[in-house]
């Protein structure tokens, strides 16, 4: 890096827009969406999709709900041309979907592209040429007037050569992009767009699409919004124009630039699923659409099965959705932090699941995972950073154990120690196994061999057979219930004296196969408090097992 002062780079010039309106606006509706996965996204792949893969991807985009899909650059290669022809000839395009094709301002390329569209019911011809000062200087060696003439002449050729296509029944719409719009002087970008519109002569029924791309992202999102609002307020035929956005993500703010550009007046958005595209990628349509959804605005796209969409995307593009990618990433609905887990658990429990229209208010999770086909299973995962609430959540939602609140801290510490020693995340089955070994399967030094009770008036008498350090013991005791009777019987032995502090139980499972699980907290004569747990088809025996569990744990800690 260059040391200060930095002379190699310079700040992007702001837009003079003292009466800007976009900061005070609120989004209230979804834009017109156009997927460019099959062109812009596909050309960014190390291994472009085959025709069969593109067909599968196209069908997925239609199923999601896209009504405008850029399918390729037919004049660029035979595979692009053939794909467009297959879509048309095999009648794969629904009547309410327009295919879009991209083309440069050269006559032979325009005629080739129109040839690819023969027989299409509804198509958008997307014409572009570069307009920025750097492009004019380094690439074309052309003056502004010559650059504008390229755009004008290209538009004339499209209008001229498409006449027979339109006469044959194709509804042809026109889109023009001043490529590198955001690094073009605004007055010149407007001049070119106006000149193109003069030639095309849009109508209220067939508006022109002026696509204003951030081909390379150079400025902050607020500057992009100013540029879009400036254009929207200076276009002389704004009612006859659909202003379209096409942002890239070079500065990592493509989504923000798009959202602010929509506030600035844009009607339409081009992008790709999960942001695939050149360099750092295009706009991620999934994120923008679901951002709208979480504000109560239906995006007019269906992402209710995001996992299936992700699977097709990863298989056909050979790319992976990062684990922290909004909404679709593997870990976006996962909390490892203990305080986060506790907040999620409590706010989730407070939801009224009977009312699907109740406002969503689960902490740290901005959208209900079920709305996009994600599972609740992975919301809380366990590692050394996890807390008591997260462990309790996993044991309850995965295995049915509703632990007493006072027990959360105890089991949380045990699981954290195991995760810390292992150095990796613990899977739910591993958490369950630690719980079983710590509480349910302890049989040393005390093993319960037999237990029964009989009632005498208001008292309960118990008889128990135990093995303690390999020595058999026959015990008996009387109390006001099975637990009290067993505690009194144990008090006649050399085992640690204790008192029962709390007791709770619940069923585990349903029907005839249901078992009871009991949790008992004891306090030993040394002042040590700890829990035990027991499971049995007999609730009485489950509680006795819980006492033995607690005593074994107390003796182990000695």
Full pLDDT tens readout for the chain, 558 residues: 999 999 999 999 999 999 999 999 999 999 999 999 999 999 999 999 999 999 999 999 999 999 999 999 999 999 999 999 999 999 999 999 999 999 999 999 999 999 999 999 999 999 999 999 999 999 999 999 999 999 999 999 999 999 999 999 999 999 999 999 999 999 999 999 999 999 999 999 999 999 999 999 999 999 999 999 999 999 999 999 999 999 999 999 999 999 999 999 999 999 999 999 999 999 999 999 999 999 999 999 999 999 999 999 999 999 999 999 999 998 888 877 778 878 888 888 888 777 878 899 999 899 999 999 987 655 556 665 666 677 888 898 889 999 998 999 999 889 888 988 888 878 889 999 999 999 999 999 999 999 999 998 889 999 999 999 999 999 999 999 999 999 999 999 999 999 999 999 999 988 777 899 999 999 999 999 999 999 999 999 999 999 999 999 999 987
**Distance of alpha carbon 260 from alpha carbon 356, whole angstroms:** 31
Please answer whether residues 496 and 381 qualify as being in contact, where contact means their C-beta atoms are separated by less than 8 angstroms: no
DSSP state of 190: H
Buried b (16+ CB within 10 A) or exposed e, 96-124: ebbbbbbbbbeeebbbebbebbeebbbbb
Phi–psi pair at 526, nearest 5 degrees = -85, 0
**Distance of alpha carbon 391 from alpha carbon 450, whole angstroms:** 33
Cis before 106? omega within 30 = no
**Distance of alpha carbon 536 from alpha carbon 481, whole angstroms:** 18
Which of 436, 445, 549 shows the shortest CA–CA distance to 498?
A: 549
**Distance of alpha carbon 103 from alpha carbon 243, whole angstroms:** 19
**Distance of alpha carbon 301 from alpha carbon 444, whole angstroms:** 60
pLDDT of residue 156: 98
Q: Where are the domains of the chain?
A: 34-317, 338-439, 446-557
pLDDT of residue 379: 59
Which of 337, 352, 506, 475 shows the shortest CA–CA distance to 412?
A: 337
**Distance of alpha carbon 474 from alpha carbon 489, whole angstroms:** 9
Q: Give, in order, the Cα–Cα distances in Å from 411 to each of 351, 391, 393, 438, 477.
A: 25, 7, 12, 9, 31
HEC per residue, 478-547: EECCHHHHHHHHHCCCCCCCEEEEEEEEEEECCHHHCEEEEEEEEEECCCCEEEEEEEECCHHHHHHHHH
pLDDT of residue 376: 61
CATH architecture of 446-557: 2-Layer Sandwich (3.30)
Dump the DSSP string for 275-339. G--STT-B-BHHHHHHHHHTTT---SS--TTHHHHHHHHHHHH-----TTSTTTSTTTT-B-SHH
The H or E element spanning position 161 is helix 144-161
Burial environment of residue 204 by CB neighbours within 10 A (0 to 12, 13 to 18, 19 or more):
exposed
pLDDT of residue 152: 98
Buried b (16+ CB within 10 A) or exposed e, 358-373: eeeebeebbbebebbe
Q: 10 Å Cβ neighbour count for 293?
A: 19
The H or E element spanning position 214 is strand 208-214
Rg (C-alpha) for the chain, rounded Å, is 34
- Residue carrying structure tokens 């609140």: 405
pTM of the model: 0.76
pLDDT of residue 394: 85
pLDDT of residue 426: 83
pLDDT of residue 344: 82
**Distance of alpha carbon 380 from alpha carbon 390, whole angstroms:** 6
- Is CATH 3.20.20.70 the right assignment for the domain spanning 34-317? yes
pLDDT of residue 510: 80
**Distance of alpha carbon 46 from alpha carbon 359, whole angstroms:** 44
Burial environment of residue 58 by CB neighbours within 10 A (0 to 12, 13 to 18, 19 or more):
buried
DSSP state of 135: I
- Residue carrying structure tokens 């135990």: 466
Phi–psi pair at 126, nearest 5 degrees = -105, 105
pLDDT of residue 107: 98
């Amino acid at each position: 890096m260059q040391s200060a002062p930095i002379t190699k780079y310079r700040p992007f010039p702001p837009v003079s827009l003292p009466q800007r309106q976009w900061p005070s606006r609120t989004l209230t509706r979804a834009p017109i969406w156009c997927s460019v996965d099959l062109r812009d996204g596909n050309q960014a792949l190390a291994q472009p999709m085959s025709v069969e893969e593109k067909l599968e991807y196209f069908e997925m985009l239609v199923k999601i709900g896209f009504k405008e899909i850029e399918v390729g650059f037919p004049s660029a290669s035979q595979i692009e041309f053939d794909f467009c022809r297959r879509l048309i000839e095999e009648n794969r395009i629904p009547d309410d979907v327009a295919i879009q094709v991209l083309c440069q301002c050269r006559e032979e390329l325009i005629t080739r592209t129109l040839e690819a569209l023969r027989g299409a019911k509804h198509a958008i011809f997307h014409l572009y040429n570069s307009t920025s000062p750097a492009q004019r200087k380094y690439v074309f060696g052309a003056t502004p007037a010559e650059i504008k003439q390229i755009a004008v002449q290209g538009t004339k050729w499209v209008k001229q050569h498409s006449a027979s296509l339109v006469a044959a029944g194709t509804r042809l719409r026109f889109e023009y992009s001043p490529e590198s719009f955001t690094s073009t002087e605004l007055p010149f970008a407007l001049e070119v767009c106006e000149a193109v519109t003069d030639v095309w002569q849009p109508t209220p029924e067939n508006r022109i699409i002026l696509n204003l791309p951030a081909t390379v992202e150079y400025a902050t999102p607020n500057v992009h919004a100013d540029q879009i609002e400036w254009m929207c307020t200076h276009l002389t035929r704004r009612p006859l124009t659909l202003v379209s956005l096409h942002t890239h993500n070079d500065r990592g703010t493509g989504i923000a630039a798009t959202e602010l550009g929509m506030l600035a007046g844009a009607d339409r958005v081009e992008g790709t699923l999960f942001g695939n595209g050149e360099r750092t990628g295009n706009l991620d349509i999934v994120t923008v659409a679901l951002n709208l959804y979480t504000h109560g605005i239906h995006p007019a796209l269906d992402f209710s099965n995001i996992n299936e969409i992700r699977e097709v995307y990863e298989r056909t593009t050979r790319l992976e959705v990062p684990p922290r990618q909004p909404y679709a990433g593997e870990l976006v609905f996962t909390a490892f932090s203990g305080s986060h887990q506790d907040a999620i658990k409590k706010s989730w429990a407070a939801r009224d699941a009977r009312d699907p229209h109740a406002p969503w208010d689960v902490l740290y999770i901005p959208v209900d995972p079920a709305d996009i086909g994600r599972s609740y299973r992975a919301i809380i995962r366990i590692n050394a950073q996890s807390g008591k609430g997260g462990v309790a959540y996993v044991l309850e939602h995965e295995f049915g154990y509703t632990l007493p609140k006072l027990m959360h801290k105890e089991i949380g510490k045990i699981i954290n120690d195991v995760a810390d020693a292992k150095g990796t995340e613990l899977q739910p089955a591993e958490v369950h196994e630690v719980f079983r070994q710590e509480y349910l399967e302890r049989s040393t030094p005390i093993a319960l061999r037999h237990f029964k009770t009989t009632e005498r008036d208001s008292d309960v008498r118990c008889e128990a057979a135990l093995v303690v350090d390999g020595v058999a013991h026959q015990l008996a005791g009387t109390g006001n219930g099975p637990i009290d009777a067993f505690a009194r019987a144990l008090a006649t032995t050399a085992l640690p004296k204790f008192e029962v502090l709390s007791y709770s139980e619940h069923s585990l499972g349903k029907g005839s196969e249901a078992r009871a699980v009991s949790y008992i907290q004891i306090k030993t004569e040394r002042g040590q408090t700890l829990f035990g747990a027991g499971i049995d088809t007999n609730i009485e025996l489950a509680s006795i097992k819980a006492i033995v569990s607690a005593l074994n744990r107390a003796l182990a800690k000695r």
